[in-house]
Amino acid sequence: MTTVIPSAPDREPSAARQTLLILGASGDLTARLLLPGLGRLVASGTAPEITLIGSGRDDWDDGQWQRRVTDSFATVGADGPREAALIREARYLSADVTREDDLRRLLALCQGQLVIFFALPPMVTARSAAALCRAGLPPGTRLMLEKPFGTDSISARSLNDLLTELVPEEQVHRIDHFLGKSTVLNILGLRFANRIFEPVLNASHVACVDIVFDETLGLEARAGYYDGAGAMVDMVQSHLLQVLALLAMDAPPTLTARELRDRKAQVLRATRLWDDDPAAWSRRARYAAGEVAGRRLPAYAQEPGVDPARGTETLAEVVLAVDTWRWAGVPFRLRSGKAMAATRKEAIVTFRQPARVPDGLVGYEHPDRLRIGFGPDRLGLDVNINGPGNPFELEQVRLAADFGPGDLPPYGEVLRAVFEGDPTLSVRGDIAEECWRIVEPVLGAWRADEVPLTEYPAGSRGPADSLIGPVPG
């Protein structure tokens, strides 16, 4: 069985030329994620004509920037004539983007529909947005921002206020590349285009929901970004809460940006820490030295660029309650860990046991589970059947299917949506604030040391005091 929900209908590239202005062009995010996504989008032939302008404080010339773009495009095989034409015309301007004069010089280079990507540290983004308010923007400008959106709900709100002073909310794209368009549509298609799942996705039938993003990768030289964020902000506050919203929300009548984001906001407003007790229902830990997939990793605290005194966690767990009619009493357990024994990117819905297994059927051990895997997107359904051999003995089997892959990597999908002016998948301002509200009690308790920072060996299944334990395999 294969369910394929296409990521997008056949599409024509939009004719009008657009300018993509990247602030923070010399940074890690631009090189590793943004430019490869752009390269694949351009190679697909579905992008509009794009003028690419990069800016950073480094004193690069156009040639250095063009080489950076060429190298990043090459990592995804984007080396055709369309990409070459874009690279030939790419411009670079050295600027301090927190200064109004520098921004005016940059804006003077931009033509047509303008998209500004803030690939900047969060504090610099806020200062740059304030300077843009003074410099003024061409009408219709779209803004793209990476996580984290602020550092808490108060800073997120003031950033939101600044952004909406610059452009209307529909032109602010707070991007979440974890949930590319194909993944979101796969979850929505599974839930709302099938009669069999939706009637049982509620507290009467579901025992708990786990949303897990474990990876075998360690820090991978990303201390500059990661050591200031940690697993809770990097993954749980941002991506995993978006997955929770899609799994727990009610059906939107249409997939318009407004309806979809209203439903997500509604369910996140009803979400809070289980028992409001961070000591009982959150965990934080960082990896100690160990071996992962045949590779020796040093302890996180020894990684270059890490300040061990910060106490940054590489594994975060939290148990949340969704106080709605549908989900009251069902724990949603979220976890993300680095340097784990195995990669798991999954949401697992564990169903309650049947009211009664008839006498005579033996071997009932495991409840039914619905599994939704991300990247690659997969569906699995664990059910109990009378397998081969003794017909009275139950065994659990997995019905599995792969969803069709999206035609672009997540950053390509995100960029395409922004060039099309479609904010459906971007995180609306109130939703970003709500996500901070949910995790703030936990982050506060961690800062106050009310929850100990424990350790787990790299390559293990996590800390001994895990709330979730080994995720059922």
Residues flagged as binding site: 57, 96-97, 147, 177, 181, 215, 234, 338
Mask: binding to ligand NDP, 106-145, rule CB under 6 A, as x and -?
A: -------------xxxx-x---------------------
- Which residue(s) pair with 287 in the sheet? 456
Helix axes 122-135, 100-108, angle to 10 degrees: 70
Using the minimum distance from each CB to ligand NDP, give the nearer residue, 79 or 220: 220
CB 302 within 8 A of CB 219: no
- Establish if 24 lies at the interface with ligand NDP (CB under 6 A): yes
Q: With CB under 6 A as the contact rule, which of the stretches 19-27, 42-50, 150-158, 333-341 interacts with ligand NDP?
A: 19-27
Q: How many Å apart are CA 156 and CA 433, to the nearest integer?
A: 6
Q: Which residues are annotated as a binding site for NADP(+)?
A: 57, 96-97, 147
The answer, yes or no, to whether the previous bond of 148 is cis (omega within 30 of 0) is: yes
Q: How many Å apart are CA 72 and CA 27, to the nearest integer?
A: 12
Using the minimum distance from each CB to ligand NDP, give the nearer residue, 119 or 184: 119
Distances (CA, A) of 339 to 134, 231, 472: 45, 12, 18
Residue of 103, 91, 94, 111 whose CA lies nearest to 127? 103
Q: Which residues are annotated as a binding site for substrate?
A: 177, 181, 215, 234, 338
345 half-sphere exposure, CB direction, 13 A CA radius: 16
Distances (CA, A) of 142 to 19, 47, 371, 411: 10, 16, 36, 16
- Establish if 222 lies at the interface with ligand NDP (CB under 6 A): yes
Mask: binding to ligand NDP, 358-397, rule CB under 6 A, as x and -?
A: ----------------------------------------
9 half-sphere exposure, CB direction, 13 A CA radius: 1
Residues labelled catalytic: 239
64-103 binders of ligand NDP (CB under 6 A): 96-98
30-59 binders of ligand NDP (CB under 6 A): 56-58
Mask: binding to ligand NDP, 143-182, rule CB under 6 A, as x and -?
A: ---xxx----------------------------------
Binding residue (CB under 6 A) for ligand NDP from 29, 162, 217, 223: 29
| Residue 467 token pair | 């709330």
Binding residue (CB under 6 A) for ligand NDP from 7, 18, 19, 26: 26
Residue of 77, 89, 91 whose CA lies nearest to 43? 77
Q: Which residue is nearest to ligand NDP (CB)?
A: 27
Residue of 154, 176, 174, 177 whose CA lies nearest to 164? 174
Least separation, in Å, of the C-beta of 224 and ligand NDP?
A: 5
Using the minimum distance from each CB to ligand NDP, give the nearer residue, 39 or 148: 148
- Establish if 61 lies at the interface with ligand NDP (CB under 6 A): no
Instruction: Give the interface with ligand NDP as residue ranges (CB under 6 A).
Output: 24-29, 56-58, 96-98, 119-122, 124, 146-148, 222, 224-225
